[in-house]
Amino acid sequence: MNIQIIAVGKLKEGYLVQGIAEYVKRLGPYAKMQIVEVPDEKAPESMSAAEEAQVKQREGERILAKLHTDAYVVALAIDGKALSSEELARQLQDLATYGRGHVAFVIGGSLGLAPEVLARADLKLSFGRMTLPHQLMRLVLVEQVYRAFKIMRGEPYHK
């Protein structure tokens, strides 16, 4: 299975880079993982709704340009569907079983995802109603994908 994470912004914090690298390494026997960063749109602290929409649109265009046409797209969104780790594992297993071997997870910038990206998504996934820094979300997501593969294989790790 090919797993792609498309994320807005550059990861700067060393501890997050190290954590993500560790889980990507652990995923090696199970799946090919690719992390693609698209530039975030520079924006002032306070913006009008129109300016916010423009920022999301520009970031959205960059995201959409990186998606493979055959990818099953999972957009991370607060208002998405909440899945347990076991349910995520079943979802990935079903995708692999039915020939959807390319899964792209999308993490938006600080303002969220453009409507066009959400419309392209096959699944909107929520990790809860709390707002998390999008850089931290990458680490959480990679860990959950690793956990899902361990669950699928019936291997120890998930408790």
Query: Do the annotations mark residue 130 as ligand-binding?
Result: yes
Query: Do the annotations mark residue 69 as ligand-binding?
Result: no
Query: Do the annotations mark residue 132 as ligand-binding?
Result: yes
Query: Do the annotations mark residue 123 as ligand-binding?
Result: no
Q: How would you classify the pairing of strands 32-38 and 72-82? A: unpaired
Query: Do the annotations mark residue 1 as ligand-binding?
Result: no
CA–CA distance, 89 with 153 (Å, rounded to integer): 10
CA–CA distance, 41 with 54 (Å, rounded to integer): 9
Pure H helices in the chain: 14-27, 49-66, 85-97, 115-120, 134-153
Query: Do the annotations mark residue 14 as ligand-binding?
Result: no
CB neighbours (10 Å) of residue 131? Answer: 10
Query: Do the annotations mark residue 108 as ligand-binding?
Result: yes
Residues making up the binding site: 76, 108, 127-132
Residues making up the binding site for S-adenosyl-L-methionine: 76, 108, 127-132
